[in-house]
Amino acid sequence: MTLKQRIDADIKQAMLAKDKARLQALRGIKSLIMLAETEKGGTEGIDQATELKLLTKAAKQRRESAELYAQQGRADLEQVEMAELAVIEEYLPKQLDEGDLRIRLVEIIQRVGATGPSDLGKVMGVASKELAGQADGRAISQAVSDLLNNTDF
């Protein structure tokens, strides 16, 4: 079952359950998918990598908006963003915790033969592809930088 089909089925369930918040989030995801499909010149469907990028970007936007609303003292809008984020995260792969992320990054660093901070770009290229959707790009970058600066990995 494709992501679009899962979303359609979940939209129907949300409509039957009269869950307005979930329905709004699901419709937003479906809208992103449909826009991506039409951008490519009307081709049938999009690949999983593109779906993952769309969901990751949407999750990041919700997270940043929620942080901004929290700073401004707008708890009502923060709750809306966090509810949508929770729905989006249901469709993303499980996020790596910091320990697992570092373990995976050490494996990547050893595999590409990185020896210090000058190899950051080489490691980030591989890590970004392999860990897409499993960790935030900022967290990956920070962990890679820490590991390469402390060469005793």
Residue predicted with more confidence, 132 or 55: 55
Q: Looking at 68, 89, 110, which one is the last position of a domain?
A: 89
Same-domain check for residues 76 and 102: no
Residue-wise pLDDT tens digits, 47-93: 888 888 889 899 989 999 999 999 999 999 999 999 999 999 999 88
**What is the CATH number for 40?**
1.10.1510.10
The total number of structural domains that make up the chain: 2
Same-domain check for residues 65 and 48: yes
**Residue 39: per-residue pLDDT:** 81
Burial code (b: 16+ CB inside 10 Å, e: under 16) for 94-120 equals eebeeeebbebbeebbeeeebeeeeeb
Same-domain check for residues 104 and 83: no
**Residue 84: per-residue pLDDT:** 94
Same-domain check for residues 123 and 72: no
Same-domain check for residues 126 and 79: no
Same-domain check for residues 82 and 104: no
Same-domain check for residues 81 and 15: yes
Question: In this structure, are residues 126 and 108 in contact, taking their beta carbons and an 8 Å threshold?
Answer: yes
Q: Looking at 58, 89, 120, which one is the last position of a domain?
A: 89
What is the span of the domain harbouring residue 137? 98-149
Residue-wise pLDDT tens digits, 91-104: 988 888 888 999 99
* Angle, CA 142 vertex, CA 140 and CA 145 arms, to 5°: 105
pLDDT band at 151 (very low <50, low <70, confident <90, very high): low
Q: Which two tokens stand for residue 89?
A: 């995260």
Overall pTM surpassing 0.85 (yes/no) = no
Q: Which two tokens stand for residue 81?
A: 């963003």
